[in-house]
Amino acid sequence: MKLGLRLLQERAKSDSFWWPYIANLPETFTVPIFFPGEDIKNLQYAPILHQVNKRCRFLLEFEKEVQQKLHTVPLVDHPFYGQDVNSSSLGWAMSAASSRAFRLHGEVPMLLPLIDMCNHSFNPNARIVQERSVNSLDMSVKVLAEKKIKQNEAITLNYGCYPNDFFLLDYGFVITQNPYDQVELSYDGALLDAASMAAGVSSPNFSAPAKWQQDILSQLNLHGEGAVLKVSLGGPDVVDGRLLAALRVLLADDPEAVHKHDLNTLMSLDVQVPLGPTVEASALRTVLALCAIALQHFHTKIMDDQAILGGGPPLITQLAVQFRLQKKFTIVDVMQNISRRIKMLSPQKSTG
């Protein structure tokens, strides 16, 4: 927002050195704070709805704060040269900064004209290099080719390996088949009980873990004061390591067997059956059930979304539907991955 205020200040200045750059910025942005109410509902995903509401509340509160401070400022000292600053202009400025700024060494956000015209790719053909610190008068920022770039080929940069929530909230686009997309869940005993019942897994420990299990859950930061209960499905890890470790521990009945392994082992999906095939199969079936419950939170089915997109909806509606569709594909990918692992366990389980 600080960078956005500078942008508004330069936009209001008639002789700004940056005017040619500012004049070419979009008048509107496709980030969700500008979505019509119906398209915000079309996202159908609670974590991003929370973030959109949070940003909108911030803009409304910040508008009051700015206007109160500017109310008593004489015109000669007015930082925006007498121009009105409201939630609409603040939203434009914040969106311009979030969708175009780069954070390099020191995490200081910077607007880099021309460089910010490069689109995103997980397999980019160029990268940004910052030479010297932001406090140096000799600081420079360069774009270096990572490979041979053909004439008229777009120059692309990697904005970061993030889920679609980040790209939509800050940049206003959605990446199809994003390998880093995730679906957030809240770690909750009642939810795990419902999932275990759906999976046919019997365990009284989800809602009432034993003391030794509580100790491990505390180490995972899933129990006790200050616990972080947000876990996820999808992305490179497929299943959030803390969630996987918790399920393995809660489904185990032998403390000694569990304590033979460190947390990193219990959190890794690549470490096969650390607590035996029976516990592993139960844990993975519970993950499958959590996926099924997560899918039910969406009001539309995958086929419905594909039909809407096939009908050529307006851009904003297209973005909202594409966002939720990618979340569903992420869940389906996790289910397929976990199902394969369960099938591979079946021979071990029968011979064990």
User: What letter does residue 154 receive in the DSSP assignment?
Assistant: P
pLDDT of 133: 79
pLDDT of 292: 96
pLDDT of 135: 79
Residue among 242, 231, 243, 241 nearest 182 (CA): 231
pLDDT of 107: 73
Q: 273-277: long-range contacts (C-beta < 8 A, 24 or more apart)?
A: 273/345, 273/348, 274/248, 275/248, 275/251, 276/352, 277/345, 277/348, 277/349, 277/352
Q: Count CB-CB contacts under 10 A for residue 176.
A: 10
Domains and CATH numbers, the chain: 1-101 (3.90.1410.10), 182-345 (3.90.1420.10)
Q: Count CB-CB contacts under 10 A for residue 239.
A: 26
User: What letter does residue 118 receive in the DSSP assignment?
Assistant: P
pLDDT of 347: 63
Rounded (5°) CA angle 247-240-221: 70
pLDDT of 352: 43
Contact 158, 257 (CB under 8 A): no
Rounded-to-integer distance, Cα 101 and Cα 1, Å? 11
Contact 49, 43 (CB under 8 A): yes
pLDDT of 204: 66
What string of DSSP letters covers 249-310? HHH---HHHHHTS-HHHHH-SSS--TT-HHHHHHHHHHHHHHHHHHHHTSSS-HHHHHHHHH
pLDDT in tens, the chain (352 residues): 999 999 999 999 989 999 999 999 999 999 999 999 999 999 999 999 999 999 999 999 999 999 999 998 999 999 999 999 999 999 999 999 999 998 876 677 889 999 999 999 999 999 999 888 777 888 888 999 999 999 999 999 999 999 999 999 999 999 999 999 999 999 998 889 889 888 888 776 788 899 999 999 999 999 999 999 999 999 999 999 999 999 999 999 899 999 999 999 999 999 879 999 999 999 999 999 999 999 999 999 999 999 999 999 999 999 999 999 999 999 999 999 999 999 998 765 544 4
Say what the pTM is: 0.90
3-state helix, strand, coil in the chain (%, to 5): 55, 10, 35
Q: Give strand pairing partners of 184.
A: 232
pLDDT of 104: 76
pLDDT of 106: 63
Q: How far is CA 119 from the centre of its chain?
A: 19
Rounded-to-integer distance, Cα 94 and Cα 152, Å? 31
Indicate the helix (H) or strand (E) that contains 12: helix 2-12
Which of helix, strand or coil describes residue 49?
A: helix
